[in-house]
Structure 1
Amino acid sequence: MSASDLNQGLRVALFSGNYNMVTDGANKALNRLVGYLLRQGVKVRVYSPTIENPAFEPAGDLVSLPSFAIPGRQEYRVATGLPARVRRDLEAFAPNIVHISSPDPGAHRAVTWARQHGIPVLGSVHTRFDTYPRYYNMAWAEPLLTAILRRLYRRCDALVAPSESFAQVLRDQRMNYDISLWSRGVDRTIFDASHRDMGWRRDLGIADDEVVIGLFSRLVMEKGLDVFADTIDELVASGVPHRVLIVGDGPARHWFEARLPQAVFAGHQAGQDLGRAVASMDVLFFPSITETFGNVTLEAMASSLPAVCAEATGSESLVEDGVTGRLIRPGAIHAFAKALQAYVENPEMRVAHGAAGEMRARDFSWDRINQSVADTYLRLIRQKGARR
């Protein structure tokens, strides 16, 4: 029986905090999931805050939720609940599974609505929200935030996480006892070493013989930008020849540009332009500890780059230390610098580890990965029916 045959009858109400307002890994994954489900004949309706000029066109039908902008982070909004018009829309759509993907008040209300109607709930966890306060001088709030997240996720029938390492963190935090994987795929038409463009590098002022240490990400402090900058300072102080290429934009860009005036900032890139930028790097340096999977890491590996990452959830499920890159203790500036220096000075190791990473990236097929979510929907529906 085909996947589309298995999926017939699914009616999914997906609640997102930011479905297409910002181009980030979680939003791209959710839109790709909805696109796959629709191609399989699944009925999907998405409920999310909306803005007048979103980053991209959404996959599927989108119903706007009331929301407010996060102070200091206006690009993100918080869904505040389910007004009567949304509840009427839900009743008319009649989902047989509810999927929440952001722990905001809208998601809390969606879980309550589903439980009142006897509908199973799947929660997908995309970000280490519990670690965010430490980047804004609010580390005292982490235990409170963890408790709020636990209350929400324990009310779900199951969770999906993008990596086994993060799933284990959720288990250790007692978020839920039914946690499976919804991994991430990589678009090999975009991310491939064949898109390397030396002419593009030259136009940025980078010589052919210079080794480029690259970062491509949304430029926000929780991506470890301070650790990145401190590590580059140590390389400069040690006289290690290199160039730094930063691809991306975000609220911390001005801080980052002032902190690394010698770096090349290429701004936001998307699609084939992003693939060209990544393939034109020589090594990825990504010290973030907030990733639950590490789309950036996988895309760099598909482009045959060795990856130097923090030993944290997400990266440690992708990078094999000493084979496809290096995993370094979070915040260990000197160790990060030594790992990068080794790749700068040893082109043979750089090529070998990049090739091994590309082989590892071949394991990630989007259709297979997204069908695993549909399979989880079907399992939860069966289990709910059996309990009745």
Structure 2
Amino acid sequence: MTRVLHVLDHSLPLHSGYTFRTRAILRAQQATGIEVRGVTGLRHGAEGPATEEIDGLTFHRTPGAASGPAGLREWREIGALARAIEAVAAEWRPDVLHAHSPALCGLAAARAARALDLPLVYEIRAFWEDAAVGNGASREGSLRYRLTRELENRAIAAAAAVVTICQGLRCDLVARGVAPEKISVMPNGVDLTLFGAAPRRDEALARKLAIGEGPVIGFIGSFYDYEGLDDLIDAMPDLLRVHPGARLLLVGGGPMEAALKARSEASPVAHAIRFAGRVPHTEVEGYYSLCDIMAYPRKRSRLTDLVTPLKPLEAMAQGRIVAASDVGGHRELIADGVTGVLFPADDPAACAVRLAALFDAREGWDAMRQAGHAHVAAHHDWARNIRHYQDVYQGLLGPDREGRPQVAA
């Protein structure tokens, strides 16, 4: 039986898209018979024991803290995580190291893989230099941007195999000179066992939010600038001119929350916009139940053109209608007019036109919901897709290295 040690930036019990994808991967691998554990770096940031079990998954933590000026601090982080990997490997004896971006994880795993003589898989979920630009923490072409990109290139070069979450990232890597045969694509996925019938409308929650009868456009997620929620707010006046009962429900929080609330208050249709704040993960389904259309108005950038998000897939799995901007990451997931609707990015007026047309075409909603769910089931179901990882692992281990290698005491 193959044992895989996943090297992670952070994990459960923290909640993020990163930790939810990790949980899905590890649980799906367990279901196929692969033994898995995770080890997190110094940026995990959640208090807890050195080893903890969460949702049936075992995670090891890197002890200590890194200090010093930029550059030296990251070098120390890499060293601490590499030592933690080696310590877990000495006790648990994995067959494969599977590191997940950012590059600090990849470089720490590369150092440990050399010491342990183990194959390394490096998985890129996004280019973190572009994510930093999208989050407002950096700017494209800056020294920090170039250094982060160089670290990523080194992690890629050190890995025996590279995995990305979408074709956009794969094409960018090939353009950098990475051999196409070294790269596999493991799309974002959904655990369909978590999604049954579409949730029934939570009438008590609707009354609490004074959401009315709708139609309701919803967004549930983090409020980053690249998500384009300001464009969605700006689209509301045009939309209400043709659909006066329309409401916008924004659930979540993040760096843009204060600015978005100020923009909403200044809007001539402020009465039609609701901010629900952050809600516990166990209560999210109730908010989904109120939304007729889930909207994802991402702005156009390298990040959004190259990376496919998870939220539209989760919405389709729940039988929600999806409307999204036509950035590359969305085009890779959504067939316009079939599994959802695409509208021009960075254009509130065009967004309003497409949303209004969608409200006027309710007779086609059932077919669109069914097509969206079928697309997720066929192409983004973890239970189906997870077996591609085993192909990658066995390609590295070879036919005579199935299962744990013999290690001298």
TM-score, normalised relative to structure 2: 0.78
Residues 1:62 and 2:59 aligned together: yes
Q: Structure 2 vs 1, CA of residues 383 and 321 (structure 1 numbering), >3 Å: closer, same or farther?
A: farther
- Any idea what the Cα deviations from partners look like across 1:170-193, whole Å, max 9, x if unmatched? 333445532222223334455455
For residue 307 of structure 1, give the secondary structure of its aligned residue in structure 2. strand
Paired residues for 1:15-54 under 5 Å? 15-20=7-12, 22-49=14-41, 50-53=44-47
Does structure 2 retain, via aligned residues, the 8 Å contact 1:305–1:354?
yes
Q: 1:171 aligns with which of 150, 168, 174?
A: 174
Instruction: Return 5+ residue gaps in structure 1 as ranges.
Output: 1-7, 70-76
The CA distance in 1 between the partners of 2:21 and 2:75, in whole Å, is 19
The CA distance in 2 between the partners of 1:42 and 1:337, in whole Å, is 47
Displacement, 1:27?
1.2
Q: 2:370 aligns with which of 355, 364, 368?
A: 355
Match of 1:244 in 2: 248
Residues 1:158 and 2:161 aligned together: yes
Match of 1:74 in 2: none
- Any idea what the Cα deviations from partners look like across 1:247-287, whole Å, max 9, x if unmatched? 22334333333332432223334556323322321112112
Match of 1:138 in 2: 139
Q: Structure 2 vs 1, CA of residues 159 and 279 (structure 1 numbering), >3 Å: closer, same or farther?
A: farther
Does structure 2 retain, via aligned residues, the 8 Å contact 1:149–1:175?
no
Does structure 2 retain, via aligned residues, the 8 Å contact 1:32–1:59?
no
> How large is the Cα RMSD of the aligned pairs?
3.3
Match of 1:5 in 2: none
Write the letter of the residue equivalent to 2:139.
M
Match of 2:296 in 1: 286
Match of 2:407 in 1: none
The CA distance in 2 between the partners of 1:51 and 1:352, in whole Å, is 44
Q: Structure 2 vs 1, CA of residues 193 and 60 (structure 1 numbering), >3 Å: closer, same or farther?
A: closer
- Which has the larger displacement, 132-141 or 115-124? 132-141
The CA distance in 2 between the partners of 1:78 and 1:213, in whole Å, is 45
Residues 1:202 and 2:196 aligned together: no
Q: Structure 2 vs 1, CA of residues 230 and 140 (structure 1 numbering), >3 Å: closer, same or farther?
A: farther
Write the letter of the residue equivalent to 2:309.
G
Match of 1:371 in 2: 387
For residue 248 of structure 1, give the secondary structure of its aligned residue in structure 2. strand
Match of 2:345 in 1: 330
The CA distance in 2 between the partners of 1:151 and 1:276, in whole Å, is 44
Displacement, 1:43?
3.2
Write the letter of the residue equivalent to 2:141.
W
Q: Structure 2 vs 1, CA of residues 267 and 111 (structure 1 numbering), >3 Å: closer, same or farther?
A: same
Does structure 1 retain, via aligned residues, the 8 Å contact 2:319–2:370?
yes
Q: Structure 2 vs 1, CA of residues 41 and 194 (structure 1 numbering), >3 Å: closer, same or farther?
A: closer
Q: Structure 2 vs 1, CA of residues 44 and 245 (structure 1 numbering), >3 Å: closer, same or farther?
A: same
Displacement, 1:213?
0.9
The CA distance in 1 between the partners of 2:331 and 2:400, in whole Å, is 34
Displacement, 1:80?
1.2
Q: 1:184 aligns with which of 150, 171, 188?
A: 188
Does structure 2 retain, via aligned residues, the 8 Å contact 1:219–1:251?
yes
The CA distance in 2 between the partners of 1:346 and 1:216, in whole Å, is 24
The CA distance in 1 between the partners of 2:390 and 2:27, in whole Å, is 12
The CA distance in 2 between the partners of 1:79 and 1:152, in whole Å, is 16
Q: Structure 2 vs 1, CA of residues 303 and 46 (structure 1 numbering), >3 Å: closer, same or farther?
A: closer
Q: Structure 2 vs 1, CA of residues 366 and 145 (structure 1 numbering), >3 Å: closer, same or farther?
A: same
Displacement, 1:48?
0.5
The CA distance in 2 between the partners of 1:114 and 1:21, in whole Å, is 27
Write the letter of the residue equivalent to 2:57.
G
The CA distance in 2 between the partners of 1:15 and 1:123, in whole Å, is 9
Q: Structure 2 vs 1, CA of residues 349 and 172 (structure 1 numbering), >3 Å: closer, same or farther?
A: farther
Instruction: Return 5+ residue gaps in structure 2 as ranges.
Output: 68-73, 402-409
For residue 202 of structure 1, give the secondary structure of its aligned residue in structure 2. helix
The CA distance in 2 between the partners of 1:68 and 1:229, in whole Å, is 41
Does structure 1 retain, via aligned residues, the 8 Å contact 2:222–2:252?
yes
The CA distance in 2 between the partners of 1:237 and 1:227, in whole Å, is 17
The CA distance in 1 between the partners of 2:141 and 2:112, in whole Å, is 32
Write the letter of the residue equivalent to 2:258.
H
Displacement, 1:376?
1.5
The CA distance in 2 between the partners of 1:79 and 1:230, in whole Å, is 46
Residues 1:125 and 2:124 aligned together: yes
For residue 162 of structure 2, give the secondary structure of its aligned residue in structure 1. strand
Write the letter of the residue equivalent to 1:264.
R
- Which has the larger displacement, 277-286 or 30-39? 30-39
The CA distance in 1 between the partners of 2:255 and 2:384, in whole Å, is 35
The CA distance in 2 between the partners of 1:166 and 1:299, in whole Å, is 21
Does structure 2 retain, via aligned residues, the 8 Å contact 1:150–1:175?
no
TM-score, normalised relative to structure 1: 0.82
Does structure 2 retain, via aligned residues, the 8 Å contact 1:19–1:58?
no
For residue 319 of structure 1, give the secondary structure of its aligned residue in structure 2. coil
Write the letter of the residue equivalent to 1:211.
P
The CA distance in 2 between the partners of 1:213 and 1:112, in whole Å, is 48
